[in-house]
Amino acid sequence: MNLTSKTLIYTPDWVVSFEKEMAEDIILGNNAGRSMRRYRRRYGLSQDTLGSLMNLRRESISRIENGNVTPTFDFVKSFIKTMALIETIRVERAKSGEMDFYFLENVAKELGVPLEKMPFIMKLAVNSYDKKLMKIQKSLKEIKYGK
């Protein structure tokens, strides 16, 4: 599956590698739905939220994840690109706490993610990263203070 057919100016090489690894996991793995569920959960997305992102009902996401429906190629491609954008936003947030919206918007364009979804995706990615950070900080405090 060729995820990047054009020259990428903004999208870092690691994002392209991330997309390829995800594609291999989903397409060549034993269970596409299970792999997709793992990525959805990795970013703390509910089936409803993923459905909103992918323009599907929650029930459709559930059927895909449970293996009752085989996802279309276009769905898998869109899913991979959306997850790659979420990962890019999280990494950008982790690097400095501030985000270069111009950079992220251009990555979204290169990935083919609709720009009208950017505010929603940004919010999801930042919330997901912040929750993960808080969980790590809490765990470190428990280790330090023996709670």
Distances (CA, A) of 52 to 46, 77, 137, 143: 10, 16, 30, 38
Q: Phi-psi region for residue 54, left (φ > 0), alpha (ψ -120 to 50) or beta? A: alpha
Whether the per-residue pLDDT at 145 is higher than 80: the answer is no
Query: How many other CB atoms sit within 10 Å of the CB of residue 18?
Result: 17
Listed by start position, the domains of the chain span 13-145
pLDDT at residue 138, as a whole number = 82
Contact at 8 Å (CB) between 71 and 80? no
Over residues 138-142, the mean pLDDT reads 80
pLDDT at residue 46, as a whole number = 96
Confidence of residue 130 (pLDDT cuts 50, 70, 90): confident
What ranges make up the beta strands (E) of the chain?
none
Residues 6+ apart with CB under 8 A from 69: 60, 63
Mean pLDDT taken over the chain: 90
Q: What is the architecture, at CATH level 2, of domain 13-145?
A: Orthogonal Bundle (1.10)
C-alpha–C-alpha distance, residues 124 and 93, integer Å: 12
pLDDT at residue 140, as a whole number = 83
pLDDT at residue 110, as a whole number = 96
Q: Residues for the chain: how many in total?
A: 147
pLDDT at residue 95, as a whole number = 86
